[in-house]
Amino acid sequence: MPKDGGIGASTKRREDVRFLTGKGRYTDDINIRGQAHAWFVRSDVAHGMLNKVDVAAAEAMPGVLKVFTAADFAGVGGIPCGWQVTDRFGKPMLEPKHPVLAEGKVRHVGDPIAVVVAETLEQARDAAEAVEVDITQLTPVLDMKAAIAADAPKVHEEIGSNLCYDWGFVEENKAAVEEAFKNAAHVTTLELVNNRLVANPMEPRVAVGDFDSAGGMHTLYTTSQNPHVIRLLMGAFVLGIPEHKLRVVAPDVGGGFGSKIYHYAEEAIVTYAAKTLNRPVKWTSTRSEAFISDAQGRDHVTKIELALDKDNNFTALRTETYANMGAYLSTFAPSIPTWLHGTLMAGNYRTPLIYVNVKAVFTNTVPVDAYRGAGRPEATFQLERLVDKAARELGVSPVELRRQNFIKPDQFPYQTPVAVVYDTGNYHATMDKLLEISDYAGFEARAAEAKARGKWRGFGVAHYIEACGIAPSNLVGQLGARAGLYESATVRVNATGSLSVFTGSHSHGQGHETSFAQVVAEMIGIDAGQIEIVHGDTSNTPMGMGTYGSRSLAVGGSAIVKATNKIINKAKKIAAHLLEASEADIELKDGKFSVAGTDKSVDWSGVTLAAYVPHNYPLESMEPGLEETAFYDPSNFTYPSGGYGCEVEVDPETGKVEIVAFSAADDFGNIVNPMIVEGQVQGGLAQGIGQALMENCVFDENGQLLSGSFMDYAMPRAEDVPFFKVDHSCVTPCTHNPLGVKGCGEAGAIGSPPAVVNAVIDAFHRAGRTDITHIDMPVSPARVWSALNG
């Protein structure tokens, strides 16, 4: 292994040097000469007729360049949706127009109405107060079940209904599932809510539009997880700018968690305004704005039922879920409660028959889309809560009921009844590992000790499956995706042997600059310090689909491996020429090419130099230079899985739940950088614990977000989480990508919420409160107290 760390080394994250010393360059750090500033006038009501927007007074204010309203965007397209779901009856989902600025109606608090562009931000803000907006309030649509009643007010009149789609999966299984429930020895039923969350990355969204009138070139700097996707959506669907005249740059990005995948109106508006005004235009979201304009996550209401036979084998599962879309369809919103959720309902189990019904509903709330885990946390939460409840009803151990129904290690590849095929896994192994690292055997003693202190201790387990590494393009195309989901890489070797790797993946906290370099360093056998990872700029990276769904190493890393293999193949040919040997005899080891069985060799830089100074080079058969591009389209999803154990102490007097221990035993396949993996899991766990205990969007009856700031939206802090025990020694490598990797970015947020809630219920039951069989998230002190005293 190269000294600076190849595959398997816990190399320190090289990007942290700039982040920790204040040298990161974020979008808000970009200030272009002549830049003007944009401030948005947003709706302060959830639902209303937008009668009039009068900008005359505002445009007369000092420093104001222009106030844009919907009328200025008459010629541009709406914000597109990237996925079309087909409903149970074979009809396409209802897809309302999403104008960049509100037209005729406002549909959620925060819906943008007008944009003031002025010389300074304060001038823009001053003028925004002078924009006169006349709105007639309408009854807001908030409750999903009420929203689909025939006489409910409509969020979008022109589509005639608030029901975006009614999806059934697998529709053909429906009758057989009903039949299995009729024959069940036991049925466990659970109704639950998956609470709506705000992503809240550290860095709020920012967009800077720039226009070069001489060349007709547009540049958008934006806080995006996928600059090429933004270029495609905004260029082709909204503004009509061809790709060669549109450059999208996502520089350092301070976290996304999904919320920075989507194409947002603000991006199109600054790009358009920059051309209209012939001035660079910058918009920086305030934190308050982020709460009402960034796509939010989760928000499902579900009824789920499990049928078991007399021996406690799972025989069928059915669900009915209401999924909130918010007021408009965000980029990938329709796919989250369907293909990223329904396909995961088998979990780790051999349940032979499954039927999932999802009703996606429009409401007068902020749009909802993917958020760390996206659909998979919702599936896992339902299933793992349900299995726990079943075990309690049957009087068997939750661990044993799971084990009994797990897919067995020798059953892989495993075809689930919900379309997907798990390539590898060993759930018994991860469960065993979890019980070991969490000292499950010692729990009773710890519970007794806690009881002596007046605390109720509980232990909760959950075992998750996720589908990552999205995704085979031809498959997702059939499922309604309007994009491919491959990834790209260009490896450019420089004359003296250093490399620049241009990747379509984007790094906004994941540490790609370190781990991708480790992969290439390992393959060539050179120091990782010789390798630069370049990402985030459509002008220098090949078309790539970006970072989400724990796909970067599995898909982006595979593209890098493919491109590096092409490089190595060509370099071997050059080495064969230099060494006057046959290509078949050339071996590459530790950055040196040698002829097998001889002491003849040439080192890496000797070959790279020959490629660029081809004095002694087979020019007749090979081009000079050493640069290769590869695209990798996966043949399947990857299926990370793991067992999570949470230990809580409930203070029965105050209702406060403290997480005193948390253990995670994951199978991520092969690991490139164990330290980064551990960091990803820890972050995911903190986020999942945040959802389980603290975070929540609460809207009042008028559709105002009551938890619209950090004063009321509770984010987890270091003191709210324990020291995690994280293990990833259980490895069943992925069989269909070259690195055998599965992805680790979302696991923590997927597996932890049910583990936490199961632990709370366990604590209740051990204290004799077996009457409480479920508690909704967030399990706040007030909720626990109400449950105990309700």
Partner 1 sequence: MYNFEFVKPSSIAEAVKALAEEGAQPLSGGQTLIPTLKQRLNQPDMLVSLTGIAEMKGVKAEGGALVIGGATPHAVVAAEAAAQYPALAALAGNIGDPAVRNRGTIGGSLANNDPSACYPSAALASGATIVTDRREIAADDYFQGMFATALEEGEIITAVRLPIPQKAAYVKFNQPASRFALTGVFVAKYADGVRVAITGASNDGVFRWTEAEEALSANFAPEALEGLSLSGDNMISDLHGTGAYRAHLCKVLTKRAVAAA
Binding interface with partner 1 (CB under 8 A): 125, 129, 288, 653-656, 693-694, 696, 698, 706-707, 710-715, 780-782, 785-786, 789
- Give the number of residues written for the chain: 790
- Assign 754 to helix, strand or coil: helix
To the nearest 10 degrees (0 to 180), the angle between helices 558-579 and 604-612 is 80
The least CB distance from residue 369 to partner 1, in Å, is 23
Q: List the beta bridge partners of residue 317.
A: 306, 354
Question: Which two three-digit tokens encode residue 44?
Answer: 């302060």
- Assign 586 to helix, strand or coil: strand
CA distance readout (Å), 530 to 8, 525, 582: 18, 11, 28
CA distance readout (Å), 577 to 525, 586, 597, 614: 21, 10, 17, 11
The least CB distance from residue 789 to partner 1, in Å, is 8
C-beta separation of 154 from 138 below 8 A = no
Residue with smaller CB distance to partner 1, 29 or 653: 653
Element (H, E) at 319: strand 314-326
Residue with smaller CB distance to partner 1, 105 or 298: 298
The least CB distance from residue 715 to partner 1, in Å, is 7
Burial of residue 563, with CB atoms counted within 10 A of its CB: 0-12 exposed, 13-18 middle, 19 or more buried: buried
Residue with smaller CB distance to partner 1, 39 or 443: 39
The set of long-range contacts for 600-604, using a CB threshold of 8 Å and a minimum separation of 24, is: 602/575, 602/578, 604/497, 604/524, 604/525, 604/526, 604/571
Pairwise CA distance, residues 253 & 185, whole Å: 53
- Assign 120 to helix, strand or coil: coil
Pairwise CA distance, residues 642 & 336, whole Å: 21
Residue with smaller CB distance to partner 1, 591 or 781: 781
Residue with smaller CB distance to partner 1, 240 or 454: 454
Residue with smaller CB distance to partner 1, 682 or 707: 707
Residue with smaller CB distance to partner 1, 250 or 784: 784
Please name the residue that has the structure tokens 């409509």: 154
- Assign 342 to helix, strand or coil: helix
Q: Give the number of other Cβ atoms within 10 Å of residue 441's Cβ.
A: 9
The least CB distance from residue 365 to partner 1, in Å, is 16
Residue with smaller CB distance to partner 1, 288 or 629: 288
Residue with smaller CB distance to partner 1, 121 or 419: 121
Residue with smaller CB distance to partner 1, 400 or 701: 701
Q: What is the dihedral of CA 144, 147, 150, 156, to 10 degrees?
A: -130
The least CB distance from residue 368 to partner 1, in Å, is 20
The least CB distance from residue 709 to partner 1, in Å, is 8
Maximum C-alpha span of the chain: 86
The least CB distance from residue 168 to partner 1, in Å, is 35
Residue with smaller CB distance to partner 1, 51 or 709: 709
The least CB distance from residue 720 to partner 1, in Å, is 9
Burial of residue 538, with CB atoms counted within 10 A of its CB: 0-12 exposed, 13-18 middle, 19 or more buried: buried
Please name the residue that has the structure tokens 């080495």: 575
Pairwise CA distance, residues 471 & 419, whole Å: 14
The least CB distance from residue 397 to partner 1, in Å, is 32
Pairwise CA distance, residues 271 & 230, whole Å: 12
CA-based R_g, the chain, Å: 27
Question: Which two three-digit tokens encode residue 582?
Answer: 């046959």
Pairwise CA distance, residues 712 & 717, whole Å: 14
Peptide bond into 295 cis (omega under 30): no
The least CB distance from residue 201 to partner 1, in Å, is 18
C-beta separation of 766 from 448 below 8 A = no
Element (H, E) at 742: none
Residue with smaller CB distance to partner 1, 460 or 655: 655
The least CB distance from residue 42 to partner 1, in Å, is 14
The least CB distance from residue 692 to partner 1, in Å, is 12
SS3 content of the chain, % helix, strand, coil (to 5): 30, 25, 45
Residue with smaller CB distance to partner 1, 120 or 411: 120
Q: List the beta bridge partners of residue 638.
A: 468
DSSP string, 372-400: TTTTHHHHHHHHHHHHHHHHHHHTS-HHH
Residue with smaller CB distance to partner 1, 289 or 466: 289
Pairwise CA distance, residues 288 & 322, whole Å: 28
The least CB distance from residue 147 to partner 1, in Å, is 22
The least CB distance from residue 698 to partner 1, in Å, is 5
The least CB distance from residue 761 to partner 1, in Å, is 20
Residue with smaller CB distance to partner 1, 187 or 714: 714
